């Protein structure tokens, strides 16, 4: 055999092997795609009791985050009402720590199905955020809602970093189940103690994107959005006290005593017994009203009677134990809505439809897990360094505040954001929706801060239409309306 013939034979063999490798890869990809499709379709929700008729699909179920410990997080995903493969994906987290994103975000605020006050089913939300984006609600960490671990020690080790790592693992595994959304623009949003969860998770995603050259591991993170968030302990607590005083909840004398006895420049504000005694007067006055919505009626139903927040233990131990208040809302158009949500998610047929149980062994679902709240280890005192890092990294960051929330008030948020020292890009101005002032907004170099006029702690439940306009502007990266005149 001459050299020419040998070369030709070698080329044919090489081409044959290349074709074989391509075929193997195609078969492997096809199998992986089929596994993803089957796993996703197994989570399709088809018979949710009381659900309004809709044209979009939604999925619910579990994603494992630690197979050796038997740890899995529960999610509920709503495709966008149109063009879901093109629309951005938003992950929503509620805080607490220990409160359910399904019970709050999905069913009381921004999901397409809201709790019906007749305690029998759901009603359609005309201002659902999946009009603009794909919405993914996550119950995090384990022990919240339907999320669980088969290893009891996991529940004793919960802290800010534990939650962050599990949420990241969840995302990676969720994208394997829903690969068609891997390339979508991705945003993380949340409220209250998610003010810690969200920047922590965003930083982890950002860092891993920077480290990994493998595009298959890349998550297309573009920014995050936070409402009435915990940001920085000293500024948040100082704002909490000043807001109570400026809104006539406490007296001048109480305010003076607190400022004299409490060191708000320290991360450990409550290590002073005299300070705790002065702060107790703020709690005493807030116990008379709804701290989450100063100007609406408090719940008089079962939630008010049985709630930990109404107990003597809460009133005595809240600040002394340095615990934070979870984002529990007992106000709004129906201040007892938590009761309706609890009834609905404890129905066996509802849990079965959501793939959260077999419909026989009914779980005791609660909107907030108080054991998690009591035992939480607060590792992070401030996320301002993360803000600085991710602003420098080019992520879009918007923060908003309902201005009638006394729990994490607008004043504390302003103190925290002012500590960043960002240059002002656009001066403080009103922003409009439906020809009315929805609130005020200030654009900094790298961050936008806005208020919602007359909204409490869970802003979308108070201002649903304005909130939908807000998320639309955020994902499009356009300024909030500066005119009463509406433009198409």
pLDDT in tens, 329-338: 333 345 567 7
Q: Model confidence over 111-131: pLDDT tens digits?
A: 999 988 776 689 999 999 999
User: What are the residue numbers of the active site?
Assistant: 192, 405, 457
Q: Model confidence over 242-276: pLDDT tens digits?
A: 999 999 999 999 999 999 999 888 766 667 788 88
pLDDT value at residue 270: 65
Q: Is residue 318 scored above 70 in pLDDT?
A: no
Mean pLDDT, range 156-168, rounded to an integer: 95
pLDDT value at residue 480: 96
pLDDT value at residue 338: 77
pLDDT value at residue 487: 58
Q: What share of the chain is helix, strand, coil (3-state, %, to 5)?
A: 40, 20, 40
Q: What residues does 91 pair with on adjacent strands? A: 136, 188
Q: Is residue 109 scored above 50 in pLDDT?
A: yes
Which of 327-331, 368-372, 464-468 has the largest mean confidence? 464-468
Q: Quick one: which of 366, 351, 268, 279 has its CA closest to 316?
A: 279
pLDDT value at residue 316: 32
Q: What is the CA 212 to chain-centroid distance, rounded?
A: 26
pLDDT value at residue 282: 93
pLDDT value at residue 488: 52
Write down the mean pLDDT value for the chain. 86
Residue 329, helix vs strand vs coil: coil
pLDDT value at residue 334: 55
Q: What is the largest CA-CA distance in the chain?
A: 105
Q: Model confidence over 351-365: pLDDT tens digits?
A: 999 999 754 455 789
**CA–CA separation, 450 and 479 (whole Å):** 11
pLDDT value at residue 29: 45
DSSP string, 344-383: HHT-HHHHHHTTSS-SSS-----SB-HHHHHH-B---SB-
- Lookup: tokens for 109: 């605020």
Q: Is the separation of the CB atoms in 250 and 240 below 8 Å?
A: no
């Amino acid at each position: 055999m001459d050299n020419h013939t040998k070369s030709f034979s070698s080329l044919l063999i090489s081409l044959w092997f290349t074709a074989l490798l391509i075929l193997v890869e195609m078969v492997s990809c096809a199998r992986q795609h089929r596994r993803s499709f089957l796993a996703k379709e197994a989570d399709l929700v088809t018979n949710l009791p009381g659900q309004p008729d809709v044209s979009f699909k939604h999925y619910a179920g579990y994603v494992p985050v630690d197979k050796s410990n038997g740890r899995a997080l529960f999610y509920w995903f709503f495709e966008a009402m149109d063009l879901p493969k093109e629309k951005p994906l938003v992950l929503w987290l509620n805080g607490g720590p220990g409160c359910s994103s399904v019970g709050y975000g999905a069913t009381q605020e921004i999901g397409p199905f809201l709790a019906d006050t007749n305690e029998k089913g759901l009603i359609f939300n005309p201002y659902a955020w999946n009009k603009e984006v794909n919405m993914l609600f996550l119950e995090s960490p384990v022990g919240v809602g339907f999320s669980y671990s088969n290893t009891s020690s996991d529940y004793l080790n919960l802290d800010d970093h534990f939650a962050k790592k599990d949420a990241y693992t969840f995302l990676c595994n969720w994208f394997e189940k829903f690969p068609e959304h891997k390339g979508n623009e991705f945003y993380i949003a949340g409220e209250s103690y998610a003010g810690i969860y969200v920047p922590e998770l965003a930083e982890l995603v950002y860092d891993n994107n920077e480290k990994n050259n493998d595009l298959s591991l890349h998550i297309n993170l573009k920014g995050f959005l936070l409402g009435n968030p915990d940001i920085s302990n000293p500024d948040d607590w100082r704002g909490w006290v000043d807001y109570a005083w400026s809104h006539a909840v406490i007296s001048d004398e109480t305010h003076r005593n607190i400022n004299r006895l409490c060191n708000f420049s320290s991360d450990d504000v409550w290590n002073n017994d005299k300070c705790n005694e002065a702060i107790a007067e703020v709690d005493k006055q807030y116990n008379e009203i709804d701290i989450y919505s100063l100007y609406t009626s408090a719940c008089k139903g079962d939630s008010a009677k049985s709630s930990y927040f109404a107990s003597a233990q809460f009133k005595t131990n809240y600040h002394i134990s340095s615990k934070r208040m979870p984002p529990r809302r007992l106000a709004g158009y129906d201040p007892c809505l938590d009761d309706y949500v609890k009834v609905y998610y404890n129905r066996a047929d509802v849990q079965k439809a959501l793939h959260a149980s077999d419909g026989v062994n009914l779980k005791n679902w609660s909107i907030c897990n108080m054991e998690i709240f009591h035992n939480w280890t607060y590792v992070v005192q401030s996320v301002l360094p993360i803000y600085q890092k991710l602003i420098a990294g080019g992520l879009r960051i918007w923060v908003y505040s309902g201005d009638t929330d006394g729990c994490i008030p607008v004043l504390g948020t302003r103190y925290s954001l002012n500590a960043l020292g960002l240059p002002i890009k656009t001066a403080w101005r009103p922003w409009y929706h439906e020809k009315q002032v929805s609130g005020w907004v200030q654009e900094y170099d790298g961050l936008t801060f806005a208020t919602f006029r007359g909204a409490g702690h869970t802003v979308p439940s108070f201002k649903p239409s304005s909130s939908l306009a807000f998320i639309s502007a955020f994902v499009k990266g356009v300024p909030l309306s500066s005119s009463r005149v509406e433009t198409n």
